[in-house]
Amino acid sequence: MSASQSSEETMSNSVSEHLKRNTKKILEIWEIRTRDELSASIHQNSLALQNSLPLYLNHLADAISDQASKTSAQIETTRLKSTHVGKQHGHERAGYADYTVSQLILEYHILRQVIFQVLEEESPLGVRERDIIIDSIEQAVNDAATQFSHTLRDIQEMFMVTLTHDLRGPVNIVKMGTQLILRRFERGDAHLDITVRMISAIDRMDAMIQNLLDASRLRAGQNIKLEFEECNLAQLLKDVVEDLNFTYGDRFVVVSDPSITSNCSRKQIRRVIENLASNAVKYGDPDTPITVKLYEAENHIHLAVHNEGPPIPPETQSILFQQFRRTPAAEEKTGWGLGLFLAKNIVEAHDGTIEIESAEGKGTTFIVKLPA
């Protein structure tokens, strides 16, 4: 071993020991600055605020110490432990309502500044030690921010699932009560139409809740429940359009081969038709009919829903089937932005495809293709 190598190892070990001796001081200075610069930190006591940082500093000290005497396995173990600590820190911060990922990152930036401040009080650090500290902090920021995002997403998903699940009970009670009231009215009663519209509104609310639940399942990697059976698609389309005409008026024109059948999930294909038709009503020209065609061609069953109106620009068509994404023209419309996302997933679960054709003067057509 050369004299320079020996000197570098001595320097590294010295910095490592210096860091371990001053861990408490570093954390005290870090906490003072953090409470001064981060508004979210003032609600936490010292133990909760520092959480996994003492352990992180210990792993950092191990990473700085002489690595010549360490095996590659020991070096990798130190790195993995540090990664785990960063993820733990991010996970805990995501549980605090006031914390954002930006504040989490700022915590680490402050920590890096304080580490250098304390360790360089007597003399400057070597290039190797500075690089190890900078690389370690950057990796910790990445680990913590990634885990923060994952944990926050899981919390939001759990909240959404719980909320939508709890909403189903009251909605069902309201629907049952409204249906009982409906039976008390005779044709011609002024309250009959209002009650029917109330039931229709409740059904739409229930459908929105179901959309949220299904979107949560898909985000969690689960599949929408499908029960396949022999379906007369022409009859199913007729039934759906009759319900839609009741809600939206006689807007729909159906062109269908009455003999088309398919092995499909009747409930889910109904949702696809309803979502595409409702989408056409919402964004199409209100003074023109909406055409729904059902036919067979090229060994596929085609379901096409067409509406007149302004075309969808090509640059925004790519986001139509993404959840919670909406085109600029749709920003003022009501809804979750889930209808087309769910329709696409349902169609693909049937080994089918869904496409869009939209052009100036020709309107917009959504085309579902299912195996014949």
Select from 258, 213, 218 the least CA-distant residue to 234. 258
Amino acid at 257: D
171 token code pair: 């909605």
Number of other residues whose CB lies within 10 A of the CB of residue 177: 12
Q: Which two tokens stand for residue 238?
A: 């007729």
Given this model, what pLDDT does residue 2 score?
Answer: 47
Under the banding of pLDDT at 50, 70 and 90, the label for residue 232 is: very high
At the topology level of CATH, where does 3-155 sit?
Globin-like (1.10.490)
* DSSP label of 366: E
Identify residue 105 by its one-letter amino acid code. I
For 228-371, CATH gives 3.30.565.10
Answer yes or no: is pLDDT of 125 > 80: yes
Q: Yes or no: say if 163 and 107 are a contact pair by the CB < 8 Å rule.
A: no
Which residues are CB-neighbours of 64 under 8 A, at least 6 positions away? 12, 15, 16, 19, 129, 132, 133
Comma-separated ranges of CATH 1.10.287 domains in the chain:
157-219
Within the chain, all domains assigned CATH 3.30.565.10 are found at 228-371
Q: Characterize the bridge pairing of strands 252-256 and 290-297.
A: parallel
pLDDT, residue 113, reads 94
| Threshold 0.95, pTM exceeds | no
- AA letter at 233: L
Q: What is the CATH number assigned to the segment(s) 157-219? A: 1.10.287
What residues does CATH 1.10.490 cover in the chain? 3-155
Structure tokens belonging to residue 352: 């089918």
pLDDT in tens, 184-227: 777 667 677 777 778 777 777 777 777 777 776 666 666 777 88
